[in-house]
Structure 1
């Protein structure tokens, strides 16, 4: 991010997803024919597991999860093997996220955005109008969702509030300084937080 340098990662076909195990410093890459791990020494993608599976998305929280395409089923790796997550067998899953602190479980598909109540084994509808493109947490543990209507943040007891009114963005993440990184069809954009706000406004903005 600092140097703005980039390179293609050879050895993976149809790559479209990434998950990072920060504890073990493993970088997982999803391709159209399985899951790969990025090799820091060779700077290539080495095959990992799930040969022949088309990987829609990857997520890591103590375990590695992946969503398969086109059936949109959620899988988890346990003891070196992957299996469909039983609690989500009856759902299509396009986006999936487990929060860092409270371990709340969120997922989204074509019908809306949901929160899974693990204690009651119940799915609660958060919004059945928006299309969620990505779910991410910032460095403070605040939850953001990137949607077709803009970016929303979870204000806990107040629910989700829109904080960025852009409709052509497809992903969101955060750098080490907690600045927002978003992307559209052609660009990767960093939004730097400021406490001065826009002219004529008193509140803080990106």
Structure 2
């Protein structure tokens, strides 16, 4: 049984509180990326020691327990972990000479996004709504149906203030083939 990974992008219509939660999660993911980019840079300058994803993940747990950064607990923890994975991947690409040195993310960027993994069916489509971790059921414009298991969701906000969700879906090859009865 061969599996394919497909992407589907749908428009989100969050209410005011969901919008605030999404924006807060975007900010938390950006903060985590920038904070640990600075930590990794400073650690290299001071000790010539490179931090890995596992070490930064442990430091993130400690960071969430601090009083001044306790607000990180309000965001989806998977989104923060994925932000660390993105940073680690950026460093791997830099050392493999596939990309430039990772740069700090700007609050004023024209488009912002965060990715979260689907654990224990936390992301699923119910009627005309999608359930997202820590945000709840958000109205969605589902332009097409799909079969398969949702692996992850990327929530993005454009410069014009529109919200989208991109789903990474794993589907069987047989479910994608349509018989044409020999025509």
TM-score surpassing 0.5?
A: no
Q: Identify the TM-score tier after normalising by the shorter chain.
A: under 0.3
Greater relative contact order, per chain length (Cα 8 Å cut-off, separation 6+): 2
Q: TM-score, normalised by structure 2?
A: 0.27
Higher CA-based Rg: 2
Structure with higher strand content: 1
